[in-house]
Every structure is written in structure tokens, then in C-alpha cells.
Amino acid sequence: MTERRDPALLPAREQARRIRAGALSATDLLRACLARVERHNGELNAVVTLNPHAEAEAAAVDASLAADEDPGPLAGLVVGIKDVTETAGLRTTYGSPLFAGHVPREDALVVRRLREAGAVVLGKTNTPEFAAGGNTWNEVFGVTRNPWNPALSAGGSTGGGAVALATGMISLAQGTDLGGSLRIPASFCGVAGLRPTPGLVPTVPAAYLWDDLQATGLMARDPEDIAFGLRAIAGPDPASPVSAPEPLRDDSGAAPLSGSRWAYAGDIARIGIDAGVEAACREMLASLRAGGAQVDETDLDLSYARDAFLVLRGHWFVSHFEAELHRIDAFGPNVSANLRSGMALTPTDIGAAENVRRRVREELLELLDPYDALLTPCMAIPPFPVEQNYPETVGGRPMETYVDWIAPTFLLSMPGLPVACVPAGLDAAGLPVGLQVVGHPRGEEQALAVATAISRVRPLCLPRLGRAFTGPRLRHRESRG
């Protein structure tokens, strides 16, 4: 099967259209995706547990269509579920040795909605322990490698999902985003991601039920596929007090360049920016302007909010892991460091951080008022060696903690606005560079429309993968308690 004809590489919305039209079966799409898992996963380590019931799920979609029944809008699409999201009867380790054999009894809400919409769960995708980190590795499954260069990081924490998308193993990737986990790997792997408004896709079950800092969402090979998938899983749920008031509207397509007015900010975190990253973003800006868009540069500085985010992150970890604090030393370095940071906080610390968060939102709303969206680089650096937990320097400046380098994304997590990441091009080394698109409150449709317009100006190809990996291959792994 040639790359050009491989149905696994089609846009997700085209895969679904063909399945519904009878031009492609759900079973054949799943087999095409599994073939790419066999071909590339041994080297890249994106999918860590395969669903042994995936073929039966695909066959059920085909049977529904044959009986002239509607299996749902995502009929037959192959999805990867981040290994911090519960899947009934399918091992969910959270990337932690403490839960290496954990098998949930129930699906998380987002998984249930994906299944009800007709999607087929291929399996679980790799993540750092409890999604704590911008480089995808853990002691259960090891490192996930970048498909553009396997010696480099795929980003995190939804790194396995991004790699699986870029290599055609799945149609859509489910993930979560606290400080950038749906945007960082999208940038590093050359795909699209969206951090939606928290609660647009309710995150339940959750120990921290009133969590309004983390968001559940999707990555895809292009922004239109995100919009297509998001419409099937968005909407309120009585189990969650943090929910969108209504489902996503049925809008799609690209924002027109002519007549659009966008703002652009460079180094919003004041940590410096790699010259190649900046050059790729500026080349994209030039193409957007040549196409008729008005892009005004603004000197946005959100560096004052860095410490406030770290406070909120520490509080978030303690809220989620309060029942596990007695074994704090059993967790890996990233999780344990966050827990200790959170346990040292005072109510005054948390109150002050919340007020800084308010200031960030007010500043962004004021900036966005005359614009359709704000554009800014997603990552300040290109992918770094996969063996590193995090890059020690950015632009020659040393990083104080393992999250400093992801400040361009985590600062934009604070105001609760939708933020997309779309490929802006390649740097001089041939590595992807991502551009963030910040939308208005509950403006997911507009943010994705702007991201789609950007993706059409200079479309990014998928990585040229090397020869087939000759090492051990992943087989269906039976779920064991």
C-alpha cells in the first residue's frame, strides 16, 4: 500500500465520509492503522497498550451501516486515548509503576462519548507519569520518540497521541492540557492541537471535580479534523460542575484572510526564543499578510504570571493527589516535586495567584477586543534530545525548573480561553514549528477557523519516516488487573 493511497493518512473527516458512503469499511481503516503501528511503533513508542476488542468494535460499525443504522458522526474513526484517561476493561497506567496493572471498570466521559459517536478505540497512547512533563517518558513504557527525528523529544504530555497522528496510526488523539499538553507535542510533531475552554469537554471522573485549570480535548492532523471531532464530544454533563453551557456549534472551514485582523506577540514569557523558531513564525506572518490578512505586532509580556501558574499547578496536584500524599516518595521526580511545592503553599499564596490569573485574563480580553485572534509561537525552542527530561537552557538562559521552558503555553492556560496550535512551517533543521492561536471566550470555532486559514497558507507535510523498524513489535495486550 503506497503512502498516497493509504486510508490511514486521509483527514479524519474524509475517512468518516468514505465509511458512511460505503467506499471504505471501518475494519479496513482499522487494519490500515494497525499496519502502521506494526511498521513504526517499535521505534517511536507512541501506542503502549492495544485494545484487543478494536476489530470487534470496527466490525460493529460496519454491521450498523449494513443494517442502515446510524453508528454516529465519527463512524469508524480510529482514536488513541491518552494513558491518563480511564478506559473500561483496558489497562490505564497513568504512566506510573504504581498503577502498571490498573484496569478501570468504567470509561471516562470523553471515551464514552467517542464510542457513542462511533469511534473505534485503537488503544492507549504514551504519557509522562500522570501527565507531569513536556517530554513523554515514564518508567512503565519508556520514551516516545519524535517521528521527524527519533533522537529527539516528541513533546508532552500527550506525546504518544501526537506521534500516532503524525504516523497515521490513528485518526484522532484524545488528550488533556494543563500547561500545554495538547499544544507542545502538536508543535514538536507537526500536527494540530486545541486546548478548549475548560469544561467544554467535562473531565470526569476526577478527584478534583471543580478543576478549571486543566482541559480535555483533541489533536488531529489538521484543525478542521479537531472541529469535526470536538463537535461529537463537547457539551455539558450533570456529573461535572465545570461544564460548557451548550455543545459546540456546527461551524467549520477557514477564516478569510482578506479582512481578518490578528495580533502577533513574540516572546510572551520573556525566556528568549530560538532563531529558527522565530524565523519560521515570521515567514508564516509574511505569507498571511501577502494573502490579505492584517497582522499587527504587539509587545505582550505575561512573564509576571509565571510564579502564579506554578502556585496554581502545585495546588492542582495536591487537589488531585490528596488521597495519595502518604506515598509521595513513590512517585517520579516530576509528580513528587509538584506535590511538595503544593504542600508548601499558604492560602495567601493561592489567593494571590488567583488574582494574577484574573489580571492575565483581563489583559488578554483587552488585547483581543479589536482582533479576531492572537498569534504567538507555541514553543521557544525546537525539539531537544529525547534523553533529557527538559532542556537546560533556552536561548542560552538556564531554566530554573523543568517547566520553565513551556511558559509560552502554560501562561496561556491561565485565562481559560481556547488556544489552538497549528504548524507554522519547518526550521532550518527541517523540524516542525507550531503557532498558537488564542481565541475569544468560548470561541473555539473562531480559533480553529483561524488555525485552518493558517494551515492552508503553507500546508505542512507529514514526516518522512525511515525504513521499517526491525525490533520487537507490539501485540494486542490483554488487560490484567
Asked if 450 and 372 touch (Cβ cutoff 8 Å), the reply is yes
pLDDT at 163: 98
pLDDT band at 194 (very low <50, low <70, confident <90, very high): very high
E strand or H helix at 185:
helix 184-189
Helix pair 275-290, 444-457: axis angle to 10 deg? 90
The Cα–Cα gap between 12 and 18 comes to: 10
Residue 422 to residue 436: CA distance in whole angstroms: 7
Higher pLDDT, 148 or 253: 148
pLDDT at 65 over 50: yes
- DSSP E strand boundaries for 287-431: 294-297, 373-377, 393-394, 397-398, 419-426
CA distances from 230 to 216, 218, 265 (A): 10, 7, 27
What letter would DSSP give residue 145? E
Q: 141-150, 363-372, 397-406, 470-479 — which is least confidently predicted?
A: 470-479
Contact (Cβ atoms closer than 8 angstroms) between residue 405 and residue 271: yes
**Dihedral of CA 381/386/390/392: which sign?**
negative
Strands 294-297 and 261-264: parallel
Amino acid at 5: R
pLDDT tier at 397, thresholds 50, 70, 90: confident
Query: Among residues 25, 96, 153, 157, which one is catalytic?
Result: 157
HSE, CB side, 13 Å, CA atoms: give it for residue 461. Answer: 7
pLDDT at 304: 98
Strand partners of residue 172: 79
% the chain with pLDDT above 70: 95
Report helix, strand and coil shares of the chain as percent, to nearest 5: 40, 15, 45
* Eight-state DSSP code of residue 479: -
Distance CA 392, CA 317 (A): 24
All three cell numbers of 24: 471504505
**Any idea what the Cα angle at residue 86 is, between residues 345 and 315, rounded to 5°?**
5
Residue of 25, 96, 153, 181 with catalytic role: 181
> Residue 48 carries which DSSP code?
E
Q: Identify the band that residue 468 occupies on the pLDDT scale cut at 50, 70 and 90.
A: very low
Query: At 475, is the pLDDT very low, low, confident or very high (cuts 50, 70, 90)?
Result: very low
What nine digits make up the cell of 411?
501562561
**At 149, which helix (H) or strand (E)?**
strand 149-153
Report CA-CA distances (Å) from 126 to 43, 94, 161, 351: 13, 9, 7, 35
CB 218 within 8 A of CB 230: yes
Residue 403 pLDDT exceeds 50: yes
Number of CB atoms found within 10 A of residue 287's CB: 16
Q: What integer pLDDT is reported at residue 419 of this predicted model? A: 98
Confidence of residue 252 (pLDDT cuts 50, 70, 90): low
Q: Please, which pLDDT band fits residue 168 given cuts at 50, 70 and 90?
A: very high
CA–CA dist 84, 478 (Å, integer): 18
CB 36 within 8 A of CB 9: no
- What is the distance, to the nearest Å, from the Cα of residue 125 to the centroid of all Cα atoms in its chain? 12
Instruction: Single out the residue of 416, 422, 393, 217 nearest to residue 309, CA to CA.
Output: 416
Confidence band (pLDDT; 50, 70, 90) for 393?
confident
User: How, if at all, do strands 47-50 and 120-125 pair?
Assistant: antiparallel
For residues 220 and 202, the answer to whether their CB atoms sit within 8 Å is no
User: Band of the pLDDT at 472, cuts 50, 70, 90?
Assistant: very low
Q: What is the pLDDT of residues 344-379, one digit of tens each?
A: 999 999 999 999 999 999 999 999 999 999 999 999
Give the pLDDT confidence score for residue 466 in this predicted structure: 62
Number of other residues whose CB lies within 10 A of the CB of residue 351:
10
pTM metric for this prediction:
0.95
Residue 177 in grid coordinates: 492540557
Q: Which of 82, 240, 336, 479 is catalytic?
A: 82
Following DSSP, what letter does each residue of 410-437 receive, concatenated?
HTTTTT---EEEEEEEE-TTS-EEEEEE
C-alpha grid cell, residue 80: 488513541
Q: Is 181 a catalytic residue?
A: yes
Residue 374's DSSP bridge partners are 263, 438
Q: Cell 478549571 identifies what position?
A: 212
The confidence score (pLDDT) of residue 464 equals 87
Rounded to whole angstroms, the Cα distance separating 130 from 416 reads 21
* Centroid of chain to Cα 278: 22
Q: Which helix (H) or strand (E) holds 177?
A: strand 172-177
Kindly give the pairing relationship between strand 393-394 and strand 432-438.
Answer: unpaired
